[in-house]
Structure 1
Amino acid sequence: MTAVAEHRASCGLVTIEPFEAYPHAVPLRRWLSHPASSWWGMAGLSTDEVRAHLGAIEADPHQRAWLGRVDGEPLFYVETYDPTRVLLADVPEVRPGDVGVHLLVAPPVERRVHGLTSAVMAAVTGFVLDGLGATRVVVEPDVRNAAVRAKNDEAGFRVLRELELPEKRAALSVLTRDDRAAAHLAPEPMAVAHRHLVTKALAEFSHERLLAPAGLGDDAYEVVLAALPRHDAGRARPGRRPSPRRRPRPRPRPRPRPRPRPSPTASAPGGSPSSTGPSTRRASRARSTGAPPRSTPSSWSSSCSPSSPCPSTSSPPTSRRSRRPSPASPTSTTGAGRRASS
């Protein structure tokens, strides 16, 4: 039989096809006889009675039977019906366009497959809403069947009210497209998600030293902002250590600037210190060579008189290189000439 719906899930490829009574009545009877399927109330049926039940569904234009497979293996059975004509015709909450659903997942033979029932629920609700074009999906589980009601709540079903049916007290529940899209925002899944989110945030903030969790005993903690001072930081509560504080980082000290060193001095023959700077060296060199000492700005001011005017301050002093006599100059004095003149 060709599949009319496909749904890719973590457990495999989920497909849905019309149910054929003769080849699949035997495994269906085995599923209905399992203790886990006691809520269907069909545990004592024979194979012929199961085929008769399937024939009645096939003959009714307001009901259909479907076989579900996971990776090609038959694993669930689905019945769809028009609730305004079958079972819920006198219930005022039922509207035209609603489609009722009965779902039976095959009991596990060896071990349970994690996420199988949730994947089957998602595939069936998607097939009814999108494939059959239903406005709402309607279910009426027994109020005592806590496992099925938990799965309905996980899929996004909303309980309208409880009502009395011929064989049970049912919780009338509906699912719309908006409910299916917001199924993860249901109270129970959101509570789990919030706990994980808060735990992750506390761990990250504590790692970054933004929070300082402090144990209060009995697996209870107090979260304190580590970067802000507390109004009761000076008072230690009994049974707990005060929260650690971060010490301020010391400021770097400025380096001392090097002091200028004094110029070296030498003692004169009379015992008084005399400068050994460039001017003193030039004067001693002039005495040894017999050349007149070069005038400096300080000597200009001291040699000014009414008879000898001051030299022009606009002209710079003669450089050392231009003042030295050239060997070819007639004014040069040799050592022999100095001995002859003396």
Structure 2
Amino acid sequence: MAQNYVVIMAGGIGSRFWPYSRATEPKQFLDVLGTGRSLLQMTFDRFLNLAPAENIYIVTNKRYYDIVKRQLPELTDDQILLEPIGRNTSAAVAYPAFKIKQRDPNGVMIVAPSDHVVFKENIFEDNLKTAIKSAKGSEKLITLGIVPTRPETGYGYIQYHSSPLKKVKKVKTFTEKPELELAKKFYDSGDFVWNAGIFIWSIDTITKAFQKHLEDIAVIFEEGAELYYTDKEQAFIDEAYAQCKSISIDYGIMEKASDVYMVKGKFDWSDLGSWDSLHEIRDKDENENVVDANAILYNSKNCYVKGPDDTLIVAQDLDGYLVTKSDNVILICKKDAEKKFREFLNDAKTKGEEFT
């Protein structure tokens, strides 16, 4: 009987959570919500009712092997897939897809980011079970869509065919992060959902999709068929990634394929893409401040303050600011300045690698 497999993508550097998230330990490995579990561990836990632990794979950068091994000691080395360099999500999907194909060509594969937060996990499971059932033995490429709660410019959107009696709906279009006016139209229409970057498909379907739409990537990872699950796998992958082009799975396959479907997610979700999005889901005081620090605030509202207990942070007359101290960096900026973080990080590098 075909089994379920989960692929968790955990290779990003989390630049928009700098300086809390660092190149040596990005946000997916941090206990961002104060639960005692990192975002990666919470993601792993979330899928244990859908696939056994031995069927869960982590795709990450080579430099994070020790962190993954420490946080998820139950994984074997065969389940920790090490990318030598970042090559976007197509490579991060192709590698495990062609590897799992050697083990179970009839399996169903779920792909999910490691740094998202899901509430109402029972609904999340139900939505995924609907998608898994539809993906088995079919040519469908399925994604989860999140019902929008606001006109958001930071997410991609999926337009779908309205079919009230069908839980798995045909996708019309994908749109990358829109400008605000267009996001408002999408939100008001009711015909769009947010693209959560969570995918469900059979192993056979996704490998065939690579062969059709990204043939050069398919050829690269097919060549290693006999090397997967052997001591020669990593050397092959190092060479394969050097030849791979960098392209997202959305642009490379989902926007080109015809059999693309969507299951509407009714659970609460955040991609935790920025300090602002974290502020949105955290408990706040009477002034809409999130205070995760030893702090005294005067006449300040809608702020996020984070710092170590041995440092006292005192702030006055702030509205919508992020104030954070993390190791050797203090950052004070507008909380919604997420588009500036790449600039912050690049400029910090000129002061020394130890600040990034």
Same-fold status (TM-score > 0.5): no
Q: Which has the higher contact order (CA 8 A, sep 6+)?
A: 2
TM-score range, shorter chain: under 0.3
Give the number of the structure whose alpha-carbon radius of gyration is greater: 1
